[in-house]
Structure 1
Amino acid sequence: MSNSAVGIIGVGNVGVAAAYALFQRQIAGRLVLLDTDTRRAEGEAMDLMHGQALVGRVSVQAGDYADLAGCRVVVICAGVNQKPGENRLDLLNRNAEVFREIAGRLDRHAPEAVLVVATNPVDILTTVMQRLSSRPASRVIGTGTMLDTSRFRALLGEHYGVNPRSVHAYILGEHGDSEVPLWSSATIGGRRIVDQEVNGRRFDETALQALFERVRGAAYDIIDRKGYTNTAIGLVIAYLVRVILEDQKSVLPVSVDPAGVYGISDLCLSVPCVVGRDGVETPVPPQLSETEARGLSASAEVLRTSLAGMTIGGGDGGVSETSK
């Protein structure tokens, strides 16, 4: 178990799932939970603490920004919900104002922490946080397409009848409708699935495109059934936090500014990057097919269009959990 402290801002469905995953796996020695609903945060902290006899000693407390001093990682799951009659751009601008408040407080109280942004739209808000925070952009990471990639590998594992951990395949670009599956570099056991038989199955373009559509629509399907998604993204957050705390230097599809990789810059989207104790170290861009390259460029333009209309001002500054 790490002795490091981790903060979570926003303890709604996603924040609580992340806290539970971090607690159950003993990834941090101390968890600090923040929410504008302080009694909710206190209740969640108490509830987790009562599981120590089953899991091990992990301190969990509800706190304020001052309590984040010394945290090596702070996870941001906070934002405002859409009001009746409000358009997407209005919502983005209000969330940007919330992030301005969060950024200022984190720069004062936890200037050395790596920030993990999980609030949707994660690519837009990671870009906003990178611009607002005084810390290096490499220390502001969005969860990006880690969840999409996990879903992709899980369904490919099911399709080919293998453990998903044996599947190496990425979803890049936006965490959203314009995301891009990398079929050309997807492998199982070192065999490229596009041109080699794997476990008795050949690449079936129609079947696998339908599989990708299930990946892309997974959040909609889950929300339609249970109202929100939280458990898998909670696991994603815990995994990413562990990679940072343990300086694993793992290659993950996180949301960052590619800074010219694939000709994309000045916005955040997911590309594979080496991640360690100081956040993102370097991108590890796979070679793309022409179709994939066009798709990634189109995904970047979708995000650029959203960013172009944004301002940071107004809003009521309230912070609460938003669904993933």
Structure 2
Amino acid sequence: MPLPLKSIKGTKIAIVGAGSVGATTAFALLMSDLAADIVIIDIDVHRAEGEVADLNHAAHFAQARVRVGTYADCAGAAAVIITAGVNQKHGQTRLDLLRTNHELFEDIVPQIAIAAPDTVLIIATNPCDVLTHSAKQLSRFPASKVIGTGTFLDTNRFRHELSKTYGVSPRNIHAIIIGEHGDSQLPVWSLATISGMRLKDYCVQAGIPYSHDEMEACAVRTKQAAYEIIQRKGKTNYGVASVLVSLVEAIVTDGDAIMTVSRVGDYVGVQDVALSMPCKVNRDGAHQEVPLLLNEEETEMLRQSAEEIKGAILSIEKEDEGDRLI
């Protein structure tokens, strides 16, 4: 249900990037009644003005106003969402986008940090994990205040795939994807449950066959989902927009919601890296308070995922150091 007007009075959300993800997020946010003031910022002001005009034609169904802004308008925002960047193209991995989008963040993030030093930064631009690390470094915010959408969307995709296999609503499936929002992501099979039962036990109780190969196929389809969508329509936008609105809801309502989001920390022996684990999200950001119980195989896979991301982070830091020496 929509929140009462008094609960969102004065709540501002800024979105940097008026492309497909930014505009879709603005619309979903407008319909959610989670914000009173939605600011869209983009280097292409004409594009932003067009999106805002279109969005305002839907605003009479909602409680918010939508407007074009500058980085100064991030001041006082409960959250600033960054969707700006080069989109992933067919045949590209998310890490292929790294250099271009990191350079963009070098311009964007410090301006946001100056205007809104107390906001929560939400990073949707890919490669999400590496850019979450970049955003923390560039903003100098605490780790909890810089949240990448990470594997939140992958987790939703995973539950959708499992729901088709088991004929159960995704809301009743508790299964998560952790690690990189990318090719080294991993499903946590050891903790996946339906009705409080591990998947094998559920199959026994439900009188249905359990197939390891079928489960692995679900994980593969989850990992390949973005590639398949991009091949067909050239972009993804609805799924990530829904994730962004869920994150805003947890922040604005101080919801203490558990979400698989990316944040900077030390994981399985890999220092200062951003990847996704279950975190409690509230008005103060994302907090990983309870270690996840993984088996040995999952722990090793998570370490490999962390090393993959760390390698990309180090490549950017090395290039930045080289630029300073020139």
Give TM-score, length-normalised by structure 2. 0.90
Deviations 1:238-274 (A, max 9, x none): 1111111111111111001233x43333110001111
Hey, what does 1:26 align to over in structure 2?
Answer: 33
Contact 2:97–2:126 (CA under 8 A) maintained in structure 1 = no
Q: Which has the higher helix share?
A: 2
Hey, what does 2:216 align to over in structure 1?
Answer: 209
Q: Does 1:67 align with 2:76?
A: no
Distance of 1:302 and 1:282 partners within structure 2: 21
Distance of 1:81 and 1:27 partners within structure 2: 27
Distance of 2:65 and 2:183 partners within structure 1: 39
> Aligned-pair distance for 1:189?
0.9
Q: 2:284 aligns with which of 271, 278, 300?
A: 278
Change (3 A) 1:269 1:207: same
Higher relative contact order (CA 8 A, sep 6+): 1
More displaced 10-residue stretch of structure 1: 59-68 or 284-293: 284-293
Q: Does 1:225 align with 2:204?
A: no
Q: How many pairs does the alignment contain? A: 311
Q: Does 1:264 align with 2:275?
A: no
Distance of 1:154 and 1:80 partners within structure 2: 28
Distance of 1:48 and 1:264 partners within structure 2: 43
Hey, what does 1:322 align to over in structure 2?
Answer: none
Hey, what does 1:169 align to over in structure 2?
Answer: 175
Q: What pairs with 1:1-324 in structure 2 (closer than 5 Å)?
A: 1=3, 2-3=8-9, 4-53=11-60, 55-80=61-86, 91-197=97-203, 199-259=206-266, 261-310=267-316, 311-312=319-320
Distance of 2:195 and 2:88 partners within structure 1: 44
SS in 1 for 2:288: strand
Distance of 2:38 and 2:285 partners within structure 1: 19
Deviations 1:163-210 (A, max 9, x none): 110111100000011100001000111011144426433431011111
Structure 1 vs Structure 2 CA RMSD: 2.2
Distance of 1:208 and 1:258 partners within structure 2: 30
Change (3 A) 1:217 1:72: same
Distance of 1:305 and 1:169 partners within structure 2: 28
Contact 2:98–2:126 (CA under 8 A) maintained in structure 1 = no
Percent identity between matched residues is: 44
Change (3 A) 1:230 1:88: closer
Structure 2 unaligned spans of 5+? none
Structure 2 counterpart of 1:92, one-letter code: L
Structure 2 counterpart of 1:48, one-letter code: L
> Aligned-pair distance for 1:15?
0.8
Change (3 A) 1:284 1:202: farther
Distance of 1:201 and 1:82 partners within structure 2: 39
Structure 1 unaligned spans of 5+? 316-324
